[in-house]
A and B are shown apart, each in its own frame.
Chain A
Amino acid sequence: MSPIPRDRGVFVGMMGLEDDARVDFKRLRAERRAKVLSGMESHDLDALMLGGVGDVRYVSGARQLGRSGVLPFAPVAVVVRKTARVHLLSTWDEGVPPEVGRDDLYRMSWNPANLAADLAKIPGLSDTRRMGTDGLTPMFAGLIAELVTKADLVDAAPVMATARRTKTPDELICLDVASAIAEAALSAMEDALAPGVTERELLGIYDQRIAALGAPMPPSESVCFATPSSGPVRFRHLTSDRPIGDGELVVLAPGALYAGYEANLARTRVAGTGRDAGDLASRCVRGMDALIAACRPGNTGADLYRAWETAGNPDPEVLLAHGLGLGAEPPLIGFGRGRDAVLEDGMVLSVQSWVIEEGVGGCLERGTVLVESTGPTSLTRYGRL
């Protein structure tokens, strides 16, 4: 194949192809690692000790067991600048890419003292001066100082968040594939949507579809909610068992992870044969178009707030946008936050427009948007409202 295929669509699949015409994971990992090492250099960090799922994946490229929820900080990966090696908490080598050698692995321990003793053996770690971490606990702060290194423990975010903020071409392919998986899930949910089906059943259909496609851990199980056609309308996050009523506006909002990269989208559909969403749908689309148009390099979060208000909307009750990559990432624009966040060429955002009208219901459109100097590109491709 020529170095740059004219039809990028050839990348958007999940089978290994014999001509390697899919995402180049080796190059993806190498570029991520180079960004991290160069960030350590410019921020004068001798080592990183990381526990966040996305940070660990970013530096190691390891395929580790997916679990939901957030665990307190623990040292799952260590990067040493002097040796340019990445060390990983993994008792076995399955799921570990070849550049992380067997010598670079350390054991899973239930005893924090054993874990600290293993960390202390990592070459070059004990005499570091400045080490970045992506969190701490009082216990680990003590153990690290006592048993591992006397280094100053500082924030790893200037290195990690900076490296992760803008995407490499291979990362963008992963996001394209994740978008396609999420769209497949939305198709399946839309097929099943009818009066009488419950949100929990739709969640089951969603999970079945992404699992069968090879991406069984969802970024979020908050994937659908019916909105009431009378009384106050609120954005809901938790799945209910109430059967969806005829004519209700139903938000379908699936996401998907491919190689850890998250894309998501939302569309709102009418269950059954009831009314159409009419004016509310147009308002939702107008808000979405305004937000997407504001996703330009150099713009700030404040520009998104302004675009939202100029489109005739009140204070947003939910987020307007947040970063996407290995899961959800900063910036977070909404809830009064993120006005100063600067959008950069190569960032990917989840952008959403949520509008409500009592007596009609609520309408959500969400999409995955790439910020580029030539203008915003929607990675989401799906019929709108």
Chain B
Amino acid sequence: MRTERFARLQQQLETQGVDGLVLLGSSSVAYATGAAVPAQDGDRAALFRPVAVVVKGDSAPHLYTLYVDGAPEDLPDDHLHGPVFPDLDDGIDSFAKALADHFPSGARVGVDDQTHAMLRGLPPFDWVDASDVVGAAKITKTPDEIACIRNAQRLNEFAMTDALAILRPGVRQIDLSAAFLRRVFELGASANGIDPIWQVMAPTRELGPWTLHGDLAYPTVTTDRFLREGDVIWVDSGITWEGYASDYGRTWTTGAAPNARQESQFRRWRAVVDAALDVLKPGVSGRQLGAAAIDANDGVRPWIDHFYLAHGVGTESAEMPLIGTDLGEEFDERLIMRPGMVLVLEPVIWDEGFAGYRSEDIVAVTDTGWIKLSGSTYEPYGLSA
């Protein structure tokens, strides 16, 4: 898997005429090197971040890391280096020297993030955004990458059964987080990616949080809020396994089982996803998928204004391909499905006055259609679909 990913990066460097990459963002470093890093909160993750350097024509990435125990075993010794702390001026000269060894001055180097210490202290390369190279390499997944996503998803889903089992009136959002996180690590998750979300959906938009666009607020942050009889909860969580993210989305009800109206919201959600899946195969555009989903929802766009019908997942929890965003319809038109793309379909069925239904189905595009990577139970709604 690491070899195939690295070959894709090399191929993109060649195609796009870039001499190499300097990567500082967690997901890009994970993609380029396969290095494991303990999950850390924002500023800690930044201060102690590993850095990946990819040199065009090289056989392996260079990894500069504090977390030696997370370096892949097959990384050659002369490609594994101590940390460079790119956020600090103190010691930036050693980073500058390392880069000067990798690239001639004036080289065209892709970078995903620049600290001011780097802007001051590094040689004057022709810096370009790394996202074109990394994005093009990542957009389709190898069979091994898809297996990692499927396994991350499986662990996430298993652990969620423990959280759902304790849900009853009087349980707090953080109690669900506690049950879920305990179990997901016991099951073998490498890391948690996001503060698990258990948002209680008000019956109308008006009764939910105020928003700039007038559409729903989602996701809002977990607190010690008590969950009460009848609360409709939109659940969302993501863990990683071997660097790959899961994305679990379901709707739960507190106390009573879903009523007939709620079950019909779920059936409509299923019909919208099925309509998109019916047309999904290589060659289909993002715009066609969006149109199929809108048709199945009687002409109403079945996703929130600030989100999408579908997003990709990989070493990032949401990455390309994005379908239905403010990148616009022309973007969606040009976004053509290819074998190896992974889609997280997360339409929202909103039933003003009665809240709504949201779940996430993950599929991988195959040579002829798609295969499903996420599970097919949607408790406490209709048992299977």
Partner of B47, one of A205, A211, A237, A322: A322
Residues of B within 8 A of A155 (CB): 116, 120
A131 part of interface (Cβ distance < 8 Å):
no
Partner of A65, one of B45, B68, B88, B221: B221
Residues of B within 8 A of A95 (CB): 220-221
Residues of B within 8 A of A337 (CB): 85, 88, 90-91
A327 part of interface (Cβ distance < 8 Å):
yes
Against B, the Cβ 8 Å flags (1 = close, 0 = not) of A171-191 are 000000000000000000000
B367 part of interface (Cβ distance < 8 Å):
no
Residue of A nearest to B180 (CB): A211
Residues of B within 8 A of A97 (CB): none
Selecting from A32-40, A68-76, A288-296, the interface stretch reads A68-76
Q: Is the CB of A67 within 8 A of B194?
A: yes
B335 part of interface (Cβ distance < 8 Å):
no
Against A, the Cβ 8 Å flags (1 = close, 0 = not) of B163-199 are 0000000000011011101111110100111111100
Selecting from A102-110, A307-315, A356-364, the interface stretch reads A102-110
Residues of A within 8 A of B115 (CB): 135
CA distance A278 to B227 in the complex (A): 50
A194 part of interface (Cβ distance < 8 Å):
no
B334 to chain A, nearest CB (A): 14
Given contacts A214-B223, A328-B43, A335-B83, contact A92 B325 (CB under 8 A): no
Residue of A nearest to B82 (CB): A335
Residues of B within 8 A of A72 (CB): 24-25, 112-113
Against B, the Cβ 8 Å flags (1 = close, 0 = not) of A137-150 are 11100000000000
Given contacts A135-B114, A204-B185, A208-B182, contact A214 B174 (CB under 8 A): yes
A90 to chain B, nearest CB (A): 8
B188 to chain A, nearest CB (A): 7
Q: Is the CB of B47 within 8 A of A330?
A: yes
CA distance A91 to B219 in the complex (A): 10
Total contacting residues, chain A, CB less than 8 A: 79
Residue of B nearest to A56 (CB): B42
Partner of B185, one of A106, A207, A219: A207
A378 part of interface (Cβ distance < 8 Å):
no
CA distance A327 to B194 in the complex (A): 16
Residue of A nearest to B36 (CB): A238
CA distance A106 to B211 in the complex (A): 10
Selecting from B126-134, B264-272, B281-289, B352-360, the interface stretch reads B126-134
Q: Is the CB of B326 within 8 A of A52?
A: no
CA distance A336 to B127 in the complex (A): 29
Against A, the Cβ 8 Å flags (1 = close, 0 = not) of B20-39 are 00001111000000001111
User: B interface vs A, CB < 8 Å?
Assistant: 24-27, 36-49, 66-70, 82-83, 85, 87-88, 90-91, 111-116, 119-120, 127-129, 131, 174-175, 177-179, 181-186, 188, 191-197, 209-213, 217, 219-224, 306, 308, 317, 322, 325-328
- Return the 3 tightest CB-CB contacts between A and B, nearest first: A53-B42, A327-B43, A69-B26
Between A and B, 28 residue pairs with Cβ closer than 8 Å are: A66-B194, A66-B221, A69-B37, A69-B42, A69-B193, A70-B25, A70-B45, A92-B210, A92-B217, A105-B212, A107-B212, A107-B213, A110-B326, A134-B116, A137-B114, A201-B186, A207-B185, A208-B182, A211-B177, A214-B223, A216-B196, A222-B40, A234-B68, A237-B37, A237-B38, A326-B43, A328-B47, A329-B47
